[in-house]
Chains A and B, each alone.
Chain A
Amino acid sequence: MSEVLEYKTVKTEEVTNWFKAASEDAFPANGGAAIEYKGLQIAVYNFTRRNEWYATQNLCPHKHQMILSRGMLGTEGEEPKVACPFHKKTFSLKNGTNLNGTECELATYPVKVEDGFVYVGFAD
């Protein structure tokens, strides 16, 4: 089975497991870092400037590289986005759509921060 198929968007209301990923300061300001969860790689972004947190699959659908956590954050209009380090495909952090091409969209995951810890929501 293709790797991308393993990544499925989880909506906040579907969360059954808030996974305690790491402490808040493990995620660089206005940057991202990857976490491992049951064999999945999830990129978690600390968009300090907007005071927002996001999480997506770490796998870039373009050339299947495990890399998005090392991508660059930004906005297009109002839409927060991440640019892949390899070929600068950009994806919405809100819903994962590819903003500058026709790559398929990223799975996104809910994130919450409590008592200095970052939790990512999964449905299994």
Chain B
Amino acid sequence: MKKEKHPKLEDLLADLIGKELAKALSQLGEVEIELQDVQIMAEKLVLTIQPSALMRKEAVPVLEKPKELIMSRFEPPKEEWVGKVVEVKIGATPSEGGTRDRTIVIGGESAPAFHLFMETPPHPPIVAMDVFDMEISLPKAIKKYYGDVMSDPVEWARFNVEKYKADMINFHLISTDPLLKDTSPEQAARMVEEVLQAVKVPICVGGSGDPAKDQKVFEKVAEVAQGERILINDVTLDMDVPKMGELTKKYGHAIIAFTSMDLNQARELNRKLYDYLGKENIVMDTTTAAVGYGIDYAFTIMERARLAALMGDEELQHPMAAAASNAWAAREAWIKLPPEWGPKSLRGPIWEAFTALTLLFAGVDYFMMIHPVAVELTRNVINGLIRGRKELPEDLYEWIEREA
């Protein structure tokens, strides 16, 4: 064994180990190579190279720019959800003991809202239209769509179904409020009967927000609507929950359990209702806030509720309801603003539509809405998400380089 300096090392190495490595080695400066067996047969040449020697200079990766597209495939993700939302049926047809011309089923999801690669929602979300039992102050942008019918709840309900093809009516008995007209439970129940006669779609009946009075009103309303399977809006923790549960069951209705942005309360209320009612009769409302006015809280509470339900939390496996008409609480929906923000007549309905659209993505199944344009838009969005068509526009590139 002997050491020698080889003046033409680079060439020799290039033959043996390839040009690139040889070049890298030569750049290290003076190199000593041990040669075993001086009978130089190329195959028997052993190079002892300390790895650290090669590391002395930072290796710059030589990028070979691809010349062809490297074809790859997209693998759709796989999600696992174990829970399922219960289905709640609203309304009853003659064969079911009621007089409605259709029934509506909400809920039944087993994947997060519009994870359409996992599941097409079994039932499309419903947009129900509001009717109030007395004239209330509403922005002009809304009033102009209703005009005279607002003074007659029965006409208003009929108008919503005939003109705007409402899937359901939310009838709000606000006049029963002791601080407003203090309408009696009997009188309120009569109004509900009249609405049930005027329209054949399923209905939802709401109170005034006074827990003691609502309790009495719902007792009467539930009784006169027996068999129609109305949706009672709502029961809260400060009402007599057992009594509300009992009357809902006794007369065969469904009910909205309302809590204010607190999932523990939502669970507690549902749990209390389970003693009297099957799960398939309960819809949850965890409070709706408008875009710009707390929708982030409303959205996240609902999204958490739905994800928890899908992860197996049985106390939250209920369809969700949201009053998107609360959007009008946001001042930007109706206030006068500088001209660059456009007319109020458009800002209002888009506010309500955006509020609904946002909550659609949290998993809401049942919307209560008021502006006819917002209602139509929300229905269009739901259609586009669920029953949408498959054919694409012809030219998918033109928008980049053409006048709009």
Q: Do A and B come from one complex?
A: no
Query: Interface on A for B, CB 8 Å cutoff?
Result: none
Query: Interface on B for A, CB 8 Å cutoff?
Result: none
